[in-house]
Amino acid sequence: MSDAKEYIIDQAYGLFLGRSYEAVSISEISNAIGFTKGALYHHFRNKEELFKAVIDKYLIIDELEFEPEQTTLKQYLDLSILKAQKITGQLISTIPSYIPLNLLSLFIDAFRHYPGFAANKEDLVKSEINKTTKVLDLAIERGEIRSDLNTLMIAEMIFTLNTGIARNLIHNNMTTQTAIEQMKVQLSEFYKLLQP
Question: What confidence score (pLDDT) does residue 178 get?
Answer: 85
Rounded mean pLDDT, 110-118: 92
Q: What is residue 194's three-state secondary structure?
A: coil
- 60-193: CATH topology: Tetracycline Repressor; domain 2 (1.10.357)
> DSSP letter at 74?
H
Residues 6+ apart with CB under 8 A from 161: 183, 186, 187, 190
List every span in the chain annotated with CATH 1.10.357.
Answer: 60-193
pLDDT at 65: 87
Q: What residue ranges of the chain are covered by domains with CATH 1.10.10.60?
A: 3-57
H-helix or E-strand spanning residue 53: helix 47-58
3-57 adopts what CATH topology? Arc Repressor Mutant, subunit A (1.10.10)
* Phi and psi torsions of 180, nearest 5°: -65, -45
Q: Percentage of the chain with pLDDT > 70?
A: 91
pTM: 0.79
| Averaged pLDDT, 133-148 | 97
pLDDT the model gives residue 92: 67
Amino acid at 107: F
Task: Say how far apart CA 41 and CA 32 lie, in whole Å.
Answer: 15
Residue range 35-39: mean pLDDT, rounded:
90
- The Cα–Cα gap between 85 and 96 comes to 18
Is the pLDDT at 93 greater than 70? The verdict is: no
3-state helix, strand, coil in the chain (%, to 5): 75, 0, 25
